Amino acid sequence: MLEKEEIVSPNLEELKSHYHSIITLLGEDAEREGLLKTPERVAKAMLSLTKGYHMDPHEVLRSAKFQEEYSQMVIVKDIDFFSLCEHHMLPFYGKAHVAYIPNGYITGLSKIARVVDIFSHRLQVQERMTLQIKECIQETLNPLGVMVVVEAKHMCMQMRGVEKQNSITTTSDFTGAFNQAKTREESSQNNPVTQSFCHDALYGLQLIKAFHKRVTFFIIMGKSRILQGIKHVLQFLRYDCIFEVNH
């Protein structure tokens, strides 16, 4: 049985008072039975949904930082998250996908998910959250590269405004080997496996894609030695791929 989360804050009573006033201003009777405890419930909910302000994501990564000579991609995908849009304070929710290429150090896999949780438990915009996750991992672990992709649905677009229930917003950000604009030959000088794979994968992502029935397909043409790395990146982003090998 899950334990009930204990919410303790010096601001709890003041928040309760404000929510009591908001309910009254909306035209409701804040003293009727069904609403008597609502100000407290909402205050505690908001404190829980914004607890990321009081947590240090860098320290979370450092708490499980290990020296390891592994230099291939580490991918943690389909990380569920819920956040609050700072414009309307309505939820947006979805999945975050994170990849990094270690440069002598790795971190516990669960710590990547915790970093996503910390930044999502704040008033946010999806674009900034994507950037913050990337920068936190890059600054703390100093990997060869970081890739973050976030897919989300926004209640501020679904239940108000344009009311588009099926729209999905995708944001992405990259560093290092994932974001290099060099040719494959230049990239491969330092790391002939990971860097050339990442460069070619991003080249394919940007230039060779087709849409069919809302599914994105990529047709990748290249030498067999680089295709496996491209396939890993595209599968990480959950795209269907057709590979054609040029020997």
Q: Which residue among the candidates 68, 72, 87, 235 is catalytic per the annotation? A: 87
Out of 97, 154, 180, 198, pick the active-site residue.
Answer: 154
Per-residue b/e over 11-38, b at no fewer than 16 CB within 10 Å?
Answer: eeeebbeebbeebeeeeeebeeeebeeb
136 annotated active-site: no
Quick check: is 126 catalytic?
Answer: yes
Q: Is 88 a catalytic residue?
A: yes
- The active-site residue out of 40, 58, 135, 156 is 156
Selecting among 88, 135, 158, 232, the annotated active-site residue is 88
Give the active site residue among 13, 68, 86, 185: 86
Separation CA 62–CA 139 (nearest Å): 11
85 flagged as catalytic: yes
Pairing, β 74-85 against β 123-124? parallel
Rg, Å, the chain Cα set: 22
Residue 247 · residue 225 · CB < 8 Å: no
> In whole angstroms, what is the distance from residue 11 CA to residue 110 CA?
31
Question: 94: closest CA among 168, 157, 159, 172?
Answer: 168
Question: Can 241 be counted among the known catalytic residues?
Answer: no
3-state secondary structure of 107: strand
Going from the C-alpha of 57 to that of each of 18, 94, 139, the distances in angstroms are: 30, 20, 11
Q: Which residues are tagged catalytic?
A: 85-88, 126, 154, 156
